[in-house]
């Protein structure tokens, strides 16, 4: 049985349908990435997996346990699914270590020493031990992502769910995040993430699920990063080149800025 089993999920906010019969399975030890335009339902699907949003119909199972419907054991779910949010922030006036131990002390009721010992262990796993006393603005974007993941490790999750871990980061940070995903995979974790970064991140991952309120395609980058699928995803024609055996997506949609600064379409 798949570790995560999303089966025919429908979800609306009011009148607006956001997920329309979505079915996805993620096995143990698999890294799976959701791609799709803004508003295509990616974050909503992740929230349904973590029972932060209810589904209207359909079923989601995590390790055989139902996440949807009545009687869900939310505490057990939170232990098996670690979530790293799109807009999560660290408190700027607190060190990395204090940021990490705050919730475990307040919410999990851990004693300060125990929380610190665990935080240092998780920071070590993330290659961040020497940054424990640093403040958030002294960290790169990729290092901050590692702190977010370290925070999620307090629950010893079997699957990590990351919403746009590379949004707004530079090229180097993107590489750091790719290394982080590989490290998590090596550690035996399942990972479900979202990204808008088709060339920098998605194209390097083993399996992409293309979402536009419903599943448009599911496969390797070579299988799904093709013009027909991309047009269904983004509603605009896109070209795909190949470089070193990897697809590169070019956005050739009409660009209103072309020529305005004397430049040409690329």
Q: Which stretch binds ligand ATP (CB under 6 A): 35-43, 60-68, 90-98, 172-180?
A: 35-43
Shorter beta-carbon distance to ligand ATP: residue 11 or 131 = 11
Helices (H), ranges, the chain: 42-49, 74-80, 96-106, 112-125, 141-152, 171-186, 221-224, 227-234
User: Rounded CA gap, 23 and 266, in Å?
Assistant: 37
Of positions 1, 13, 168, 254, contacts ligand ATP by CB under 6 A: 13
- Residues whose CB is less than 8 angstroms from the CB of residue 118 and which lie 6 or more positions away in sequence, other chains included: 104, 110, 154
Q: How far is the CB of 183 from ligand ATP (least distance, A)?
A: 25
Q: Does 42 bind ligand ATP (CB under 6 A)?
A: yes
Count of residues engaged in binding ligand ATP, rule: CB under 6 A: 10
Q: Which residues contact 211 (CB under 8 A, 6 or more apart)?
A: 22, 34, 35, 36, 40, 41, 42, 45, 233
Choose which of 5, 9, 22, 40 interacts with ligand ATP (CB under 6 A). Answer: 40
165 is an interface residue for ligand ATP by CB under 6 A: no
| Residue 145's binding partner out of Mg ion, ligand ATP, none, with CB under 5 to 8 Å set by partner kind | none
Residues forming contacts to Mg ion in the complex (CB under 5 A) are 42-43
Bridging pattern class, strands 31-35 and 190-194? parallel
Write out the residues near ligand ATP by the rule CB under 6 A: 13, 18, 36, 38-44
């Amino acid at each position: 049985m798949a570790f995560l089993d999303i089966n025919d999920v429908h979800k609306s906010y009011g009148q607006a349908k956001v997920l329309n019969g979505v079915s996805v399975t993620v096995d143990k030890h698999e890294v799976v990435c959701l791609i799709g335009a803004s508003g295509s339902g990616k974050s909503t699907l992740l929230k349904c997996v973590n029972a932060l949003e209810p589904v209207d119909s359909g079923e989601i199972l995590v390790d055989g346990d139902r996440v949807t419907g009545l009687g869900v054991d939310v505490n057990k779910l939170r232990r098996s699914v670690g979530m790293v949010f799109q807009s999560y922030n660290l408190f700027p006036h607190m060190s990395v270590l204090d940021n990490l131990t705050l919730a475990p002390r307040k919410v999990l009721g851990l004693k300060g020493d125990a929380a610190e010992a665990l935080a240092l262990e998780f920071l070590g796993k993330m290659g961040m031990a020497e940054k424990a006393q640093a403040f958030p603005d002294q960290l790169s974007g990729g290092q901050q992502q590692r702190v977010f993941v370290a925070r999620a490790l307090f629950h010893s999750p079997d699957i990590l769910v990351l919403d746009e871990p590379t949004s707004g980061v530079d090229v180097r940070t993107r590489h750091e995040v790719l290394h982080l995903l590989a490290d998590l995979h090596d550690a035996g974790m399942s990972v479900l993430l979202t990204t808008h970064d088709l060339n920098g991140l998605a194209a390097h991952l083993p399996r992409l699920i293309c979402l536009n309120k419903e599943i448009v395609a599911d496969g390797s980058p070579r299988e799904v990063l093709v013009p027909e699928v991309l047009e269904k995803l983004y509603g605009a024609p896109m070209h795909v080149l190949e470089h070193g055996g990897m697809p590169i997506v070019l956005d050739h949609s009409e660009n209103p800025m072309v020529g305005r600064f004397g430049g040409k379409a690329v």
